[in-house]
């Protein structure tokens, strides 16, 4: 898509195509950088600005969370080898951030398997309906980059998120603070693959239905 944007000329795009393009731009993985590549073409940008509602354009520009760029092992973040095939591959490269509104959590009172936790959250259907997105997990990590106190546990306990991944499989994404390496570790496991979680581990859930 980036190469197409680089070669785009005003005469290549009809108003009808523009109408469909901008609405799908963010959902298809468009980024502000791609829009910027066409900004130098004044005629094309005039067509965009005149045709689309500001809120639609703003939504497209807001698609700034880049999956591959973020979930890569680097200073302060270690990403398991299973995360990309299980989670990253199920999403477009660029996502419209869902935000953290409606995010709640509770600590396990006893050792529990994923299936037990899901029952407590009113069953798999409800968990899928309110499943987390990768950008939300990233947003929580970014609030505590250095292991500060906050919504994520930054001690010897795990933070658990239920997320729909490759082939619509429900996975549990685990975020742990690694005090020795001063960074966050991120894993993606199939349900009950880890065994039971421990009393004191924290389970996160959305209380609103996210946009698809």
Q: Is 212 a member of any domain? A: no
Q: Is 136 a member of any domain? A: yes
Q: How many domains does the chain have?
A: 2
Alpha helices, H only, the chain: 2-7, 15-25, 32-39, 42-51, 54-61, 67-70, 83-86, 114-120, 124-129, 134-143
Confidence of residue 9 (pLDDT cuts 50, 70, 90): very low
Residues 107 and 164 in one domain: yes
Domain end (from 63, 96, 116):
63
Residues 182 and 199 in one domain: yes
Residues 70 and 149 in one domain: yes
Q: Is 171 a member of any domain? A: yes
pLDDT in tens, 154-170: 998 999 999 999 999 99
Within 13 Å and on the Cβ side, how many CA atoms surround 156? 2
Residues 118 and 150 in one domain: yes
Q: In this structure, what token pair is assigned to residue 167?
A: 């082939």
Q: What is the mean pLDDT of the chain?
A: 81
Percent of the chain with pLDDT over 70: 69
Residues 108 and 192 in one domain: yes
Give the whole-angstrom CA distance, residue 186 versus residue 43: 45
Residues 56 and 71 in one domain: no
Residues 132 and 151 in one domain: yes
Domain end (from 63, 84, 107):
63
pTM: 0.70
Per the structure, the complete domain to which residue 49 belongs is given by 2-63
Q: Is 211 a member of any domain? A: no
Residues 81 and 40 in one domain: no
Mean pLDDT of 2-20: 43
* Residue 98 confidence (pLDDT) above 60: yes
Q: Is 23 a member of any domain? A: yes
- Residue 64's pLDDT is 72
CA-nearest of 166, 139, 156, 145 to 83 is: 166
Domain end (from 20, 46, 63):
63
Residues 59 and 110 in one domain: no
């Amino acid at each position: 898509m980036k190469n197409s944007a680089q070669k785009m000329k005003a005469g290549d795009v009809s108003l009808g195509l523009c109408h469909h393009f901008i609405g799908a731009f963010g959902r298809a993985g468009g980024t502000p950088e791609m829009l910027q590549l066409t900004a130098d073409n004044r005629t094309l940008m005039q067509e965009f600005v005149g045709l689309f509602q500001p809120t639609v354009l703003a939504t497209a520009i807001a698609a700034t969370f880049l999956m591959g760029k973020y979930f890569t092992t680097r200073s302060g973040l270690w990403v398991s080898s299973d995360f990309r095939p299980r989670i990253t591959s199920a999403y477009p490269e660029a996502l419209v951030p869902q935000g953290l509104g409606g995010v709640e959590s509770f600590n396990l009172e006893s050792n529990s398997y994923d299936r037990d936790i899901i029952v407590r959250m009113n069953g798999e259907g409800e968990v899928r309906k309110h499943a987390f997105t990768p950008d939300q997990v990233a947003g929580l990590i970014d609030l505590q980059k250095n292991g500060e106190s906050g919504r994520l546990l930054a001690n010897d306990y795990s933070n658990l998120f239920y997320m729909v991944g490759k082939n619509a499989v429900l996975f549990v994404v685990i975020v742990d603070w690694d005090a020795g390496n001063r960074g966050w570790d991120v894993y993606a496991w199939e349900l009950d693959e880890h065994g039971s979680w421990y009393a004191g581990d924290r389970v996160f859930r959305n209380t609103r239905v996210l946009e698809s």
